[in-house]
């Protein structure tokens, strides 16, 4: 399975991505996790990414593309992947297509959109802030991340819909219930019923 996860911050990409990766036996590749690890360990990449991340802006394409290029070249990604948080703008979606071609890997099969409304997102991420203290889970930054998502990432839904690869699943309700809905939608796409 070669799947990308699209959805606003807090829509459940990480939560569902873990379950999908386990179900399909492929790695979950999260650019957000990779960037946070780089910030934590104080690498050059982390230093360059931190200001944008703390403000809720997108990190420069060249920094995230490097992460994805390196990760996709590892052997465990040759059988598939769940890409969480990449691509996030039109340029990145084109770069991903080129990276897969360059590495002689098949194209993305499914783009999953987890649809969650803004107030549910704010409430989830404020709850996470009190538990985990993630630097970008402050209300003004959360709202800025939502704006960035709407301006930069939401247009990708159209990009993948035109290729008949988009599945949209409501991202509200129980985690297992959402996961079951995703699996049914994936089966429908794979069998040409969607």
Contacting residues toward ligand AP5, per CB under 6 A: 7, 9-15, 31-32, 35, 52-53, 56-59, 64, 85-86, 88, 92, 124, 128, 136, 145, 175, 178
Preceding amide of 87 cis, omega within 30: yes
Distances in Å between the Cα of 30 and the Cα atoms of 27, 180, 189 are 10, 22, 24
Two tokens at 35? 């960037």
- Residue whose C-beta lies closest to ligand AP5: 32
36 a catalytic residue: no
Residue 179 CA from chain centroid, whole number: 16
Cβ contact 20:28 at 8 Å: yes
147 a catalytic residue: no
128 a catalytic residue: yes
Phi, psi of 30 (to 5 degrees): -115, 115
In the bound state with ligand AP5, the residue whose beta carbon lies nearer, of 153 and 166, is 153
Cβ contact 154:148 at 8 Å: no
DSSP state, residue 160: H
Options 48, 134, 138, 143, the catalytic residue: 134
Rounded least distance, CB 96 to ligand AP5, Å: 10
Two tokens at 118? 């803004």
Rounded least distance, CB 35 to ligand AP5, Å: 5
* Angle, helix 31-40 to helix 61-72, in steps of 10 degrees: 110
Two tokens at 89? 């703008």
47 a catalytic residue: no
Rounded least distance, CB 134 to ligand AP5, Å: 7
Options 2, 19, 71, 88, the catalytic residue: 88
In the bound state with ligand AP5, the residue whose beta carbon lies nearer, of 12 and 46, is 12
Options 2, 28, 71, 145, the catalytic residue: 145
13 a catalytic residue: yes
Options 48, 50, 128, 143, the catalytic residue: 128
- Active-site residues, by number, are 13, 88, 128, 134, 145
């Amino acid at each position: 399975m070669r799947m990308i996860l699209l959805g606003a911050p807090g829509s459940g990409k990480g939560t569902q991505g873990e379950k999908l990766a386990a179900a399909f036996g492929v790695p979950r590749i999260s650019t957000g996790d990779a960037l946070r690890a780089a910030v934590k360990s104080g690498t050059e990449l982390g230093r360059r990414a931190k200001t944008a991340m703390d403000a809720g802006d997108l990190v420069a394409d060249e920094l995230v593309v490097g992460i994805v290029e390196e990760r996709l070249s590892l052997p465990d990604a040759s059988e598939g992947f769940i890409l969480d948080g990449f691509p996030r703008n039109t340029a990145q979606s084109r770069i991903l297509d080129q990276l897969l071609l360059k590495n002689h890997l098949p194209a993305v099969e499914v783009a999953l959109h987890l649809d969650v409304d803004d107030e549910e997102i704010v409430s989830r991420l404020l709850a996470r802030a009190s538990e985990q203290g993630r630097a970008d889970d402050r209300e003004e930054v959360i709202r800025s991340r939502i704006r960035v998502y709407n301006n930069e990432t939401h247009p990708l839904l159209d990009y993948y819909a035109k290729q008949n690869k988009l599945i949209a699943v409501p991202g509200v309700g129980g985690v297992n219930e959402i996961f079951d809905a995703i699996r049914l939608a994936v089966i429908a796409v794979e069998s040409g019923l969607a």
